[in-house]
Amino acid sequence: MKGQKHMSKMVDEKLADFGKRLAELRKNAGYTQQELADELGVSRRVIGYYESESQHPPASLLVDLCQVLDISSDELLGLKAIKQKSLPDSRLLRRLQQIEKLGATKKRQLIQIIDTFVEAEQLKDRQS
């Protein structure tokens, strides 16, 4: 019984920092509060509430958070350390997915703009 109380106290302490951890995981994934809210089908205020309050979201939202943020429930709940991922910028990837859905003309225009920035940076690098 004594060991069980100790374990329970450790879990309670880790869960107390849920809001800070959620904010860190959201930022690591490249989401703003609004973008995460849109992905989850909730309001930005809901995300802000769970990041700032000691209340935890319902279990169904925990599952969705883990899926959207591509993390384990143990990471979200603080039972395991947050894994630092060296993935491409997820915000940029989401933008590219949105661009893919545009018509051919709009896509071509955006690609030309991107090419202009990339070429300018490459020229700058060659001149240095």
**What is the tens place of the pLDDT at every residue in 46-97?**
999 999 876 788 999 999 999 999 899 999 988 888 877 655 667 787 888 8
Instruction: Name the residue type at position 64.
Output: D
Residue 6 pLDDT > 60: no
Task: Determine the length of the chain.
Answer: 128
Q: Compute how many other C-beta atoms are within 10 angstroms of the C-beta atom of residue 121.
A: 10
3-state secondary structure (DSSP) of residue 41: coil
User: What is the pTM assigned to this prediction?
Assistant: 0.60
Q: Please name the amino acid found at residue 89.
A: D
Give dist(CA 120, CA 100) in Å, integer: 24
Q: Which of 74, 98, 82, 95 is nearest to 27 (CA)?
A: 82
Q: Which pLDDT score is estimated for 29?
A: 86
